[in-house]
Amino acid sequence: MHHWVVNKNFKDASKAAAEFLAEAIRKSVTERGVCHVILPGGKSPAQCLHYLSVMDLPWEKIHWYPGDERVLPEGDFERNDVMLRKNLWSKIPAGVFHTIPTEQGTEKSVDLFKSEIKDLDVIDVAFLGMGEDGHTASLFPQNEALNDERDIVPVYNSPKPPNERVSFGINKLVEARIRMVLTGGKSKADILSCIKQGENLPINSIGDVYWFVDQAAVL
């Protein structure tokens, strides 16, 4: 069952998402002494990450992971870890930052990142993005990566450039204790309607999601 939090505008949705994430982090650290958080790529999370960066959190007990990464050279401005570093990681006093080394190539980076996260049992919070086709992380509709049962999967033939990516697999996202998505704008209204109708989409295949959206996306 999806949980919907509708806000007046995207700024308010971003703030609400940051507050929800912060509370989930505090709860995880209180209960388990650590919190493992997947973060989305793209441009939409920037404001949310800014709000989060100025909150009082147990930063040294948080592990951060990109939900997916594009196969591009290290430091390429289209890489998700560059966006995350700019908008959050460089602004907070501590934390453990896990990056997907896609500059090593698709298959090799899958193996390297699998080794990097070998001790990661369960993701505490999977903060994800969602595209207009219903994809999440780099799990696209009808893509073979959806059928890959590994924790970390290679993605080929992406409908959006670049052609190759590396992503957390769908099984690992299903296991997450909490899944949340921040999205908004009129361009997302059609796909959100499809999601509410239960269409077979990657985002509808990962379990319950806490949605933070603006009014424009649900009109």
String of DSSP letters for 93-119: S--EE----GGG-HHHHHHHHHHHTTT
Q: How far apart are CA 66 and CA 133, in angstroms?
A: 20
- Res 55: pLDDT: 98
pLDDT in tens, 57-88: 999 999 999 999 999 999 999 999 999 999 99
Q: Is the pTM of this model over 0.85?
A: yes
> In 3D, which of 91, 197, 100, 205 has the Cα closest to residue 153?
100
Residue 116 predicted with pLDDT over 90: yes
- Res 219: pLDDT: 74
Peptide bond into 40 cis (omega under 30): no
- Res 24: pLDDT: 98
The average pLDDT across 2-27 equals 98
- Res 1: pLDDT: 77
CA torsion angle for 102, 108, 114, 117 (degrees, to 10)? -50
pLDDT in tens, 133-172: 999 999 999 999 999 999 999 999 999 999 999 999 999 9
Contact between 62 and 95 under an 8 Å Cβ cutoff? The reply is: yes
Alpha helices (H) along the chain: 10-32, 46-53, 80-87, 106-116, 170-175, 189-196
Mean pLDDT over each residue of the chain, to the nearest integer: 97
What kind of fold does domain 3-217 have according to CATH? Rossmann fold (3.40.50)
The average pLDDT across 120-126 equals 97
Please report, for the chain, the start and end positions of each structural domain, with discontinuous segments joined by +: 3-217
pLDDT category of residue 9 using cuts at 50, 70 and 90: very high
Q: How far apart are CA 5 and CA 69, in angstroms?
A: 28
The average pLDDT across 15-23 equals 98
- Res 30: pLDDT: 98
- Res 25: pLDDT: 98
Helix then strand then coil, % of the chain, to nearest 5? 40, 20, 40
